[in-house]
């Protein structure tokens, strides 16, 4: 037992505390005795002091399992919810993009339609502004339109002089396949030129040429024909060549071989010079021949 005053252990049978001298009461001695008896009995029965009862592990594991399952279910629910939400957002975004593309296409179509209408109106206005042809009707057509010969005076840098034959430059606009102009210099006619002049400006669209001497297939082959030109009209100029083209003789209608050199727009000019820059040689004569050449409206 222990002293109530100082807590020092007191041996059994002692009446006073050896440390502080406190007297040990009979009641404490009796309580201590009972305590010793209980401890002794406990040691006799089990050899160990009785301890607190442990909680069951099975219940704890079950509770944790239920909690884990609940967490997994909750997580799966949230995952499904967010996936559906994301899918809906993606669908909405795709739909929005489709609407934007549709609006864009519709806008582009309207713009294209407006441009087309504007072009049509411009073309109609230009057609109205075009002056009525004042030239000579030729009976020829190009690009679906009738060709009119502009009234220009024509001359050449040289003319072939041969007794009984006429190769003057005026033959270039007589619309007669049995006549032609032929150069009058030595060689094949390269660098010879044809000049069209007028006392006043006239509106023209281009230059028509029927190369070679087209009176017959024989004369067409025997004489040379121009295949390239340098053309000066007004303040503009251009080079034209059909070197890579075949120039067959059209026996049924020689005028089917007419070549139309479009200036790209109507121009007002009073002079046009055409210089021969290359020639297809004839198989017998060196002369360069042209059956027709005129400015057209």
Q: What is the pLDDT of residues 266-281, one digit of tens each?
A: 999 999 999 999 999 9
Average pLDDT over residues 160-165: 95
At 140 the three-state DSSP class reads: strand
The pLDDT value given to residue 49: 47
Domain harbouring 184, CATH code: 2.60.120.260
212 backbone φψ class: left, alpha, beta (φ>0; ψ -120 to 50) = left
Last residue of a domain, one of 13, 30, 49: 49
Tens of pLDDT along 32-44?
544 444 444 444 4
Same structural domain for residues 285 and 147?
A: yes
Domain final residue pick, 15, 32, 49? 49
Considering the domain architecture, whether residues 16 and 158 belong to the same structural domain is answered as: no
Is 91 part of a structural domain of the chain?
no
Q: What pLDDT score was predicted for residue 154?
A: 98
Query: For residues 217 and 249, is the Cβ–Cβ distance under 8 A?
Result: yes
The answer to whether residue 25 sits within a structural domain is yes
* 140 shares its domain with 45: no
Judge if pTM exceeds 0.75. no
Question: What pLDDT, on a 0 to 100 scale, did the predictor assign at position 129?
Answer: 58
Answer yes or no: is 81 within a domain: no
Give me the pLDDT at residue 128, please: 57
- 73 has pLDDT over 90: yes
Residues 169 and 283 in one domain: yes
Distance CA 217, CA 213 (A): 9
Give phi and psi for 262, each to the nearest 5: -80, 130
Q: Which helix (H) or strand (E) holds 226?
A: strand 225-233
Per the structure, how many domains does the chain have?
2
Same domain, yes or no, for 156 and 38? no
Rounded average pLDDT over 137-157: 95
- Looking at the structure, do residues 6 and 143 belong to the same domain, yes or no? no
Residue 271 lies in a domain: yes
Residue 59 lies in a domain: no
Angle at 98 between CA 94 and CA 102, to 5 degrees: 170
Residue 27: per-residue pLDDT? 54
Range of the domain at 159: 136-296
247 has pLDDT over 70: no
Predicted local distance difference test score (pLDDT) of residue 246: 62
**What pLDDT sits at residue 248?**
73
Residues 178 and 290 both lie in one domain: yes
**What would the pLDDT profile of 4-14 be if each residue is shown by its tens digit?**
777 777 777 77
Give the C-alpha separation, 137 to 133, whole Å: 9
- Mean of pLDDT values over 105-121: 90
Q: Do 174 and 43 share a structural domain?
A: no
pLDDT tens, residue by residue, 177-226: 999 999 999 999 999 999 999 999 999 999 999 999 999 999 999 999 99
């Amino acid at each position: 037992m222990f002293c109530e005053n100082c807590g020092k252990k007191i041996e059994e049978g002692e009446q006073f505390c050896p440390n502080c001298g406190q007297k040990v009461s009979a009641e404490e001695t009796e309580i201590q005795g009972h305590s010793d008896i209980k401890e002794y009995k406990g040691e006799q029965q089990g050899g160990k002091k009785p301890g607190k009862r442990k909680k069951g592990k099975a219940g704890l594991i079950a509770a944790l399992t239920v909690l884990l399952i609940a967490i997994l279910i909750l997580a799966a629910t949230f995952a499904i919810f967010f996936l559906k939400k994301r899918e809906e957002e993606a669908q909405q975004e795709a739909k929005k993009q489709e609407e934007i593309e549709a609006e864009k296409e519709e806008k582009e179509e309207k713009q294209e339609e407006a441009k087309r209408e504007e072009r049509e109106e411009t073309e109609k206005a230009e057609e109205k502004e075009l002056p009525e042809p004042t030239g000579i009707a030729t009976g020829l057509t190009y690009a679906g339109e009738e060709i009119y010969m502009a009234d220009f005076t024509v001359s050449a840098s040289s003319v072939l002089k041969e007794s009984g034959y006429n190769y003057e430059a005026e033959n270039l606009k007589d619309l007669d396949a049995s006549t032609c102009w032929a150069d009058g210099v030595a060689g094949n006619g390269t660098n010879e030129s044809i000049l069209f002049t007028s006392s006043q400006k006239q509106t023209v669209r281009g230059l028509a040429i029927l190369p070679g001497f087209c009176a017959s297939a024989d004369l067409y082959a025997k004489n040379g024909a121009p295949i390239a030109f340098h053309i000066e009209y007004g303040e503009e100029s251009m080079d034209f060549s059909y070197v890579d083209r075949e120039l067959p003789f059209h026996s049924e209608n020689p005028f089917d071989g007419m070549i139309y050199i479009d200036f790209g727009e109507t121009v007002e000019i009073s002079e046009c010079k055409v210089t021969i820059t290359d020639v297809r040689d004839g198989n017998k004569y060196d002369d360069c021949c042209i059956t027709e050449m005129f400015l057209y409206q």
